[in-house]
Structure formats: C-alpha cells, structure tokens
Structure 1
Amino acid sequence: MKKINTMAGMLLAAATAMFSASCENDNINPYDYAGNNGNANQGSTNVIKTAVAEYPVGSLVWSNDTTLSESVEIPVGTSLYIEPGVTVTCKADVQVPVEVVVLGNLYCLGTAEKPVTFTSDRKKPEAWGGIICGYNSEEVVLNHVDIAYAGATPTESSASFQNKLFKTTIDGGVPAFHFCNVNGKFVIANSFFHDNYNDQTYFTGGNGVIAGNIFADSGNAADGGEAINVKAGCKLDVANNVIYNACTNAFKLSNAGNSEVVPLTDMIVYNNTIVDCGWRRSKNKKGGSVWVEKAARPVFVNNLCYDSRFGLKQPKQDGADMEHSRLTPNYYYASTATGVEQMAKGASLGIWFDTDIKSATAGQFDPLFKLFKQNAGMDINCEVDDPDKGAPLAFDRSWNFDLQQGSPALSGGVTDFARIFPNGIPFFGMKRVNFLDSANDQNYYFSAPLPQPRFGAWL
C-alpha cells in the first residue's frame, strides 16, 4: 500500500505536470516520479500547473493513465485531483485487492467527453476493492466518472481494514464507493457505476447530492447488492438516476446505526427510474425496488419502478417512520401477472397508497421507454444471474429510459416539496482550481435538479 504524504503529493503533481504532454495516453504509475525534483510550480510560487488547470500547492494531481498494483491511501489534509480522461486501472492478480482509500479529499474532474475511469485489467466484477473514504474525509467529487468491476473482499492487510473503515471483520466485499463522515460532503453526478460485485454505493454519514447517474448490473446472486444503500447520519438529495438490475434493491433506505452522536438521515428521493431489480431473494421475500426500514423517513416521490419484484416494502417490524415520511405518488409497472400480484394491495410486506399508479393487469400503464429491450423470458423471481433462466439482460448503453411522447408517466408527479440543498453544496477544493480550458471548466457548486411533475428520470 502506498501512503502519500503532502510533500510526496507536491512532487508527484510536479512530475505529472512535467510529463503530461508526452505521456498523456501511457499507462503510468505516478509513483515512478516521486523523487523528481522538477519545478513544481511551473514558474509560479503558489500553484501547481498542468495542461488542464492550476491547483493549490500541496495537491496530488493525476494527469495520466495510471495502473495500480497496490492500494493508494490519500492522507488527511491532502487532496487528490484526477484530471479529465484519466483511466485508473487496478490490477486484479495481486495478493491484496487494490483499494483507493481517501482519508483526505478526492476530486474526479471528468467531463461528458472525457470521463474519469476506474476499471480493472480483468474486466470482471470483484477484480478490485473500491473507493473507501475515511471518517475525516471532507470532500469527494465524482463527476462524469465510470466505476466498474469493484467489490473484492478485503484482507486484514487491506488499507480499508487497517484504517477500520467499512468492515471490522472480513465477511464479504466492499462497495464500489463508501462515504462515512457525517460532517463531510460528496457528490456523485453524471456517472456510470456498473458490473460491481456488491453494493454500488454505501453511505453511513455525509451530506450529498446523487444526480444524473446510471447504476447498472449491481451485486451478485450469492451475496446480493444494492445500488444506493443509505444508513444513519446522511442528508441526501437523490434525483434523476437510472437503476438497472440491482439484484437485491435499487434503494435500501435505513436509519440503522443511529445514536445520540449520529443524526437521523434525511433523504429527498425523486424522479428516479428503477428497472428489473430485486430478482435474487424471493425465498425470504426481501428485496425488490425499494426497501425502507429502521425508522427511515424519506421523501420518496415521482419515482418509476418497472418490472421489479415488489414495489415499496418494509420489514414487518422496525420499518419506516411512516408519520414523518412521504412515500407517494410513485409509478409501478409490471409486464407480467406475477409482477402485478407482488405489487397488489395486501401483498406481504408491501406499502400501498391509492395515490400511486400501479398496473392492475399485466402490461397496463406501460411507461413507453424510448429504447429498451426486456428479456423475453424475464422472471423477476429467478434468483440466478443467468438471462437464459430469467435474469435481466446485460446493460446496454444504447438504451434510453426517457419517455416517449404520449407516455402515461409524463404527468401525475408532484413538485410541492423542497430539496435539502436547494442552492447546492459547495466544494471548496473545486473552487481553488483554475481551469485553463473552458471545455474543462467546472463549477464548485453541485445541486440536484428541480423536481418534475412526471415520473422517472430524464437523461
């Protein structure tokens, strides 16, 4: 595991800036340049300059494609900036799975044309760990980021385990992204999480915006996996996301872990699209589209659930705080008789509202996606990750989950609620970056979009 101190961060950033012109597409390990004593400030006394931007002295900047054969630990007080178009490849054939442990701050500065990519040389789920943040991590920005093939099980030598993050016992894999600082801030925007072996995201604290993302092919048949798993200590605006094939839940919303020092979670979850989720756990009747438990009190409205097992559910005991929640209206579509039955009024553990729109017969209220291919043999209770046995097809980036003209889901939503962060969340580490090219220029405020009086996401 590489621990990067502040001085090393300055030297690495300097080397990255010096070599960025000639090695932009090379597979570079930035540590190779840790001993280079070049001109860190490129003629300036108060910035580190690359071809893309000027950064504060003391920053760590990755400008080039990077291969990691061991974990990276960003210490408290240090900021890592990853520039547009950079690919971070994590080697799979290593004794201890690669992790990116962020005890300080992380800023992934992707753009629509040049996303930042975290991947693996093996290109299969469970090939590396994930991005695991520490209790003092103040700011994380994931903007236009592609994160895939994470979820490996840590060892006692893993950076996350050594820092007592996420797991205190070795009993399964880590999420692709985990944030835990109740007082910290994060944003996940315009990003693509896919083919990760366990949960895509897992939150045990933090102030965040999650907007405009695609979460596809989450988890595995043996251990499950949520797309967005929320515990206590969070304040979140979650909107305009597409969640496809989360094998346990699209959303698991909970106040587990709350105490006198960890505040209850507040979540505003609206205008999201949920497709083909929850097929894994029919025997124990858990899982589906949305699971609310342990005093969760979300606003959950304007969401579109398509061919997922069950609709909105809670445990028989210790479920949602219904008095302080707002859980309707939402739109639930089923193309099969089984789906209709599992969403019907009186279904086991289901939460029913007359103000929701639900298919009463198979195929009723088809929301009319612009482009989507459902598995012809789809079985929402299949419990195996095999399309030939009814599991969802692999996600196709050409699909378009926006709605056709004339869709019944284009109206009926509500807008009479407030976002937690109506003015956005400021990320001061972004404010300190001077982008030199307007094509890469990025704001330092991130906010969820205004609610729309329709159901589902628009991308």
Structure 2
Amino acid sequence: MKKINTMAGMLLAAATAMFSASCENDNINPYDYAVNNGNANQGSTNVIKTAVAEYPVGSLVWSNDTTLSESVEIPVGTSLYIEPGVTVTCKADVQVPVEVVVLGNLYCLGTAEKPVTFTSDRKKPEAWGGIICGYNSEEVVLNHVDIAYAGATPTESSASFQNKLFKTTIDGGVPAFHFCNVNGKFVIANSFFHDNYNDHTYFTGGNGVIAGNIFADSGNAADGGEAINVKAGCKLDVANNVIYNACTNAFKLSNAGNSEVVPLTDMTVYNNTIVDCGWRRSKNKKGGSVWVEKAARPVFVNNLCYDSRFGLKQPKQDGADMEHSRLTPNYYYASTATGVEQMAKGASLGIWFDTDIKSATAGQFDPLFKLFKQNAGMDINCEVDDPDKGAPLAFDKAWNFDLQQGSPALSGGVTDFARIFPNGIPFFGMKRVNFLDSANDQNYYFSAPLPQPRFGAWL
C-alpha cells in the first residue's frame, strides 16, 4: 500500500482503500490528502482556508510536514501550494526513487524565517529524484526553498519516465529541479540547493528569474554536475547567486535542442559569484567555470570567478555565438600558479578578453570575501571528491561571499544592458492567494535585481 505519513495531518479513508491494491508504477494522487483543518483539498464549495492564507477552490494545499514514500504527481491544470515552514521528507529506502512530478503548477511559499524544505531521511546525495516539471506546467515558484539530496536515477516505473519527462532512456540521475515548458514561467529566488548528486537545475524551455540563491556542492566525480544548465527555449534573468563547488560547471549555457518550434535561448547572467568549480574533468579538458556552446548568445557580465578551473570556455567546433553575445567584463581570481596558467591568454578552449580582470600571478586581485575558508590543499584539477586530495571543503552556511571594503572587485562592472524581464514576471497563481497576515504576505511579481557596477553577488 502506498501512503504519505503526515505529522500533523490525516490521510483520508477513501485514499487508503484506493491504494491498497495499487501497482508499482501507479503514483500517489495528491487529491487524496488533507490540510491541517481536515478539509479535503479538492471539491470544496468554499475557499480553502488555513492558518496562513485562503486559496482558490480546487487548489491542493500542504500545510504540514510530510513524508513521501512514493512519487507525487500534480495533475495538469491543478495548483499545489506548499505553505511556509513545511518540510517534505523523501524516503530513500524504496524500490522506485521518490519524485515530485509537476504536470500542473507548484507554489512553494517559503519565507526567510520559515523556508519550505525538500530533503531525505538518508541525508545523502542521490536519496530521491527531484522536482520534475511537465510540458504543460504553467507556473512554478520556488521562493525560500531548501532542496537537498536529490539526483537519483529513475526506473521505468518512475513518474518522470512514465510521463516521458527529462529522460527517454535510463542512463543516469535527474536534476534536483527541471523545467521544460517553453511557454511556462518559473522563479527560483532566495533558495538553497545543496548536496544534489547531479545538476542542481536543468532547463529545456521556460521564462524564468533565478536570483538571490546559493547553489552548493553539486554533482559527483563519476557523472559530473552543473549548478545551472541551460538549453534551448529559455528566456532567463540570472543574477546575484552564489555557486560553490559545482564539480563540472557553475554554468553550462547552450542552445542545444533548438528547432523550428523551440526558440533560441536569451539570457542575462550578471553579478554572480562562482567559487571552487570545475575540478572534475581535467583529463578530458571539459568543464570549468562557465561553458558556452551550441550557438549560445548570453549577456554574461559582472560575474566573479574564484579559484575555479579555467574561466570562460567553449568547444572548439561548436561554441558561443560570439557576434551576438556579450561576455565581458568579468573578474577571474586564482590563488595558485596552476589556476593562473589555466586562465591565461591562449589557454586551450578558453575565451579571452582584455577587458576582463584576471590574476596574472597567484593571489593577484584577491576579491577579499568577508568570510571564506579555502581548502589549504586545494587542487582545482583533483578529479576526486575528497578534500584530503584537494577537493573543495563542504559548504559552510556561515561563509559570507560579499566583499570587504577596499576589495578591487567593488568597481569595474557595467550596467548598460537590459534585463530580459525588466518589469518582472507575474505568477497569477500567487495573485489568487489571500495571505491572512503580513508576515507571510508575498507579491506575485518576481524580478531579478538591477545590475550593480561591481563584480559578484551581494548579500
């Protein structure tokens, strides 16, 4: 029998009967669960009211900490709202990895004091699948969300595979978050992605804002992993994020998969901080800080790259659309002679601009983070996920990657470019929520911050 154990809620008796004889590849129907006041989330003749907000009729609302032992599938046209402070724990010791498959809409309503959390009972990478969105998913909001320990490999019985999402063959794990609707909208704001086994995020379509997040400790030595992996069909503003220890790339920016029906991707990527990325693939020379390929044409400026292997790279035969891209100025710092060499002019596959700021000697142009502890034995070409052999230290939330007064990275950035969404993106599912107190009240527009004439993220 498939079930969800809810710490403070209840499972409807009808649902128990429904799933007592379910097959392996059946997926949990979220309509069968209740909010904390005991009212079913579907079919109410009145608004759905909790202690936090009033939601439109037909919504699904999760108000309580919940343990998932099987995948959840949100139907097309249906909206799931997860309230502030809710923790969703995915069981690891199951035959088919748990996934949250969003065919409809998802709104994670976390706050700074009460984030929404997706985690696992095992607290190790690859313990569950991820949040995988469908081709008709219209809106997804991840605001103040903590997502960790995802990246498990699906089976043919997995919800994502059954819905023909992300993978058509079983050949590796899924990202922690995947969005694919070219006409859909998503936002990832003020969130913390960490300890995920493959990519933190992977986009094959959609209009999005990614701002104010921390992406830490992604990927694995065998399969790699990007923090932000972008393909064709996207329009994105990506700003003010900290990316730490992405083992292949912090950013992989590509127009792979474009066709007559999938438009080329446009994106502005600015004022992000990249630290200790790209250590995995020194032997085949792939990966590094930022990888641009297959006619990608981003605005990529004001970014600060610190002790990452290489700087900005592209394949020899299939790289960025240099004519329509803007890839400078950015700030590249290396504390080691090896790092300086790999970012030097003429380095294999590297992209060089005289307008960038780059260390010409080890330790030159230290950006002076307010609080960061580098591995004393750091080796940016180590290829093993072991700090004793040079890999990055585990991320410490006490670190502060803002810049000290007097930092050489506090000036030299540019502001003469336009964001893709200067007025923000509206999420109408948020507009329909009536928050009952100011502590939880949230706007329905999300926008990336204005560019700053400095390098890196600010906190």
**Contiguous gaps of at least 5 residues in structure 1:** none
* Kept after mapping to 2: 8 A contact 1:13/1:61: no
* Kept after mapping to 1: 8 A contact 2:367/2:409: yes
Distance between the aligned counterparts of 2:432 and 2:90, measured in 1? Answer: 29
1:17–1:215 distance in 2 versus 1, CA, 3 Å:
farther
* Kept after mapping to 2: 8 A contact 1:299/1:325: yes
Aligned to 2:263: 263
Structure 1 residue 18, shift from structure 2 partner: 22
Aligned to 2:229: 229
* Kept after mapping to 1: 8 A contact 2:32/2:40: no
Structure 1 residue 102, shift from structure 2 partner: 0.1
Distance between the aligned counterparts of 2:308 and 2:42, measured in 1? Answer: 55
**Which deviations, in whole Å up to 9, do the C-alpha atoms of 1:418-455 show, x marking residues without a partner?**
00000000000000000001100000000000000000
**Which deviations, in whole Å up to 9, do the C-alpha atoms of 1:308-337 show, x marking residues without a partner?**
000000000110000000000000000000
1:340–1:21 distance in 2 versus 1, CA, 3 Å:
farther
Structure 1 residue 75, shift from structure 2 partner: 0.5
Distance between the aligned counterparts of 2:81 and 2:299, measured in 1? Answer: 34
* Kept after mapping to 2: 8 A contact 1:197/1:219: yes
1:455–1:33 distance in 2 versus 1, CA, 3 Å:
closer
Distance between the aligned counterparts of 1:13 and 1:66, measured in 2? Answer: 17
**Which deviations, in whole Å up to 9, do the C-alpha atoms of 1:201-224 show, x marking residues without a partner?**
000000000000000001000000
1:19–1:56 distance in 2 versus 1, CA, 3 Å:
farther
* Worse-matched range after superposition: 372-381 or 14-23: 14-23
1:247–1:37 distance in 2 versus 1, CA, 3 Å:
closer
1:355–1:50 distance in 2 versus 1, CA, 3 Å:
same
Structure 1 residue 71, shift from structure 2 partner: 0.1
Aligned to 1:254: 254
**Which deviations, in whole Å up to 9, do the C-alpha atoms of 1:39-64 show, x marking residues without a partner?**
56999954100000000000000000
**Which deviations, in whole Å up to 9, do the C-alpha atoms of 1:295-320 show, x marking residues without a partner?**
00000000000000000000001100
* Kept after mapping to 2: 8 A contact 1:289/1:310: yes
Distance between the aligned counterparts of 1:5 and 1:78, measured in 2? Answer: 22
**Which deviations, in whole Å up to 9, do the C-alpha atoms of 1:232-262 show, x marking residues without a partner?**
0000000000000000000000000000000
**Which deviations, in whole Å up to 9, do the C-alpha atoms of 1:332-354 show, x marking residues without a partner?**
00000000000000000000000
**Which deviations, in whole Å up to 9, do the C-alpha atoms of 1:97-134 show, x marking residues without a partner?**
00000000000000000000000000000000000000
1:318–1:57 distance in 2 versus 1, CA, 3 Å:
same
Distance between the aligned counterparts of 1:166 and 1:18, measured in 2? Answer: 29
Distance between the aligned counterparts of 2:260 and 2:27, measured in 1? Answer: 48
Distance between the aligned counterparts of 1:311 and 1:175, measured in 2? Answer: 24
Distance between the aligned counterparts of 2:312 and 2:39, measured in 1? Answer: 58
Distance between the aligned counterparts of 1:353 and 1:288, measured in 2? Answer: 17
Partner SS state of residue 340, structure 2:
helix
Distance between the aligned counterparts of 1:410 and 1:393, measured in 2? Answer: 26
1:394–1:432 distance in 2 versus 1, CA, 3 Å:
same
Partner SS state of residue 9, structure 2:
helix
1:408–1:425 distance in 2 versus 1, CA, 3 Å:
same
Partner SS state of residue 421, structure 1:
coil
Distance between the aligned counterparts of 2:8 and 2:453, measured in 1? Answer: 51
Structure 1 residue 20, shift from structure 2 partner: 26
Normalised by the length of structure 2, the TM-score is: 0.93
Partner SS state of residue 238, structure 1:
strand
2:146 counterpart of 1:146: yes
1:121–1:208 distance in 2 versus 1, CA, 3 Å:
same
Distance between the aligned counterparts of 1:428 and 1:195, measured in 2? Answer: 32
1:43–1:159 distance in 2 versus 1, CA, 3 Å:
closer
Aligned to 2:423: 423
* Kept after mapping to 1: 8 A contact 2:35/2:64: no
* Kept after mapping to 2: 8 A contact 1:26/1:65: no
* Kept after mapping to 2: 8 A contact 1:13/1:62: no
1:281–1:10 distance in 2 versus 1, CA, 3 Å:
same
* Worse-matched range after superposition: 5-14 or 96-105: 5-14
2:35 counterpart of 1:32: no
**Which deviations, in whole Å up to 9, do the C-alpha atoms of 1:341-397 show, x marking residues without a partner?**
000000000000000000000000000000000000000000000000000000000
* Kept after mapping to 2: 8 A contact 1:4/1:73: no
Distance between the aligned counterparts of 1:13 and 1:141, measured in 2? Answer: 31
Partner SS state of residue 409, structure 1:
helix
1:122–1:343 distance in 2 versus 1, CA, 3 Å:
same
Partner SS state of residue 12, structure 2:
helix
1:88–1:193 distance in 2 versus 1, CA, 3 Å:
same
Structure 1 residue 28, shift from structure 2 partner: 14
2:295 counterpart of 1:291: no
Distance between the aligned counterparts of 1:254 and 1:410, measured in 2? Answer: 29
Distance between the aligned counterparts of 1:330 and 1:262, measured in 2? Answer: 30
**Count, aligned residues:** 459
1:2–1:133 distance in 2 versus 1, CA, 3 Å:
farther
* Kept after mapping to 2: 8 A contact 1:375/1:392: yes
* Kept after mapping to 2: 8 A contact 1:17/1:51: no
* Kept after mapping to 1: 8 A contact 2:52/2:440: yes
**Contiguous gaps of at least 5 residues in structure 2:** none
1:103–1:334 distance in 2 versus 1, CA, 3 Å:
same
Structure 1 residue 16, shift from structure 2 partner: 16
Distance between the aligned counterparts of 1:164 and 1:19, measured in 2? Answer: 23
Normalised by the length of structure 1, the TM-score is: 0.93
Distance between the aligned counterparts of 2:433 and 2:319, measured in 1? Answer: 44
**Which deviations, in whole Å up to 9, do the C-alpha atoms of 1:57-78 show, x marking residues without a partner?**
0000000000000000001010
* Kept after mapping to 2: 8 A contact 1:377/1:389: yes
* Kept after mapping to 1: 8 A contact 2:91/2:98: yes
Distance between the aligned counterparts of 1:384 and 1:292, measured in 2? Answer: 24
1:373–1:18 distance in 2 versus 1, CA, 3 Å:
farther
Aligned to 2:308: 308
* Kept after mapping to 2: 8 A contact 1:410/1:454: yes
* Kept after mapping to 2: 8 A contact 1:17/1:63: no
1:80–1:35 distance in 2 versus 1, CA, 3 Å:
closer
1:346–1:33 distance in 2 versus 1, CA, 3 Å:
closer
